[in-house]
């Protein structure tokens, strides 16, 4: 089985990537990353963007599942709400559209506790809009994880 892990440089993404690399049921792990990493493993294939947007790295490839760990903080994007929306919603939904086109049956995403498209809190609203967009795509298996802030 082949899987794609998007966002393997953050806290959650690194842990997911590490677990996937050690899972015997997974033959190949495709890591969709913004920057190169120093890991060298025959089980790992890294996709990097040609220029700019992370989604430019996507190409036709059969995968059984996508695990999306993309996300940022408003601080990391310098308070720019449009940049935050791009990473936490637009890139996630773009990846999900690619997955649907590839026939991926299982899509898993890390969201946040309190995600609600109707929230007056910006962060929660963006996460909620992303979740609603994913649900509308009709994946046979959609797993949304909402960890709390620790």
Please state the domain count of the chain: 1
* Residue with tokens 């953050």, as numbered in its chain: 10
Q: Is residue 128 part of a domain?
A: yes
User: Is residue 150 situated within a structural domain?
Assistant: no
List of long-range contacts for 10-17, beta carbons under 8 Å, 24+ apart: 10/69, 10/71, 12/69, 12/110, 12/147, 13/69, 13/70, 16/67, 16/69
Is 58 within a domain?
yes
Taking only the tens place, the pLDDT of each residue in 44-53 is 999 999 888 8
Instruction: Confirm whether 34 is domain-assigned.
Output: yes
Report the 10 Å Cβ neighbour count for 49: 15
pLDDT, one tens digit per residue, over 109-132 is: 999 999 999 999 999 999 999 999
Q: What is the CATH number of the domain that holds 73?
A: 3.40.50.720
List the helix and strand counts (H, then E) for the chain. 4, 6
Q: Which domain holds residue 37?
A: 2-145
pTM of the predicted model as reported, rounded to 2 decimal places: 0.94
């Amino acid at each position: 089985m082949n899987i794609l892990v998007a966002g393997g440089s953050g806290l959650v993404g690194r842990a997911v990537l590490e677990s996937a690399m050690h899972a015997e049921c997974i033959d190949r792990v495709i890591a969709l990353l913004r920057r190169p990493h120093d890991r060298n493993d025959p089980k790992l294939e890294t996709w990097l963007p040609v220029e700019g947007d992370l989604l430019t790295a996507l190409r036709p490839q059969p995968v059984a599942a996508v695990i999306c760990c993309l996300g940022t903080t408003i601080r990391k994007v310098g308070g720019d709400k449009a940049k935050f929306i791009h990473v936490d919603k637009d890139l996630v939904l773009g990846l999900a559209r690619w997955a649907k086109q590839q026939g991926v049956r299982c899509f898993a995403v890390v969201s946040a506790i309190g995600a609600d498209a109707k929230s007056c809190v910006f962060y929660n609203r963006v996460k909620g809009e992303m979740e609603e967009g994913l649900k509308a795509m009709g994946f046979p298996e959609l797993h949304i994880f909402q960890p709390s802030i620790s």
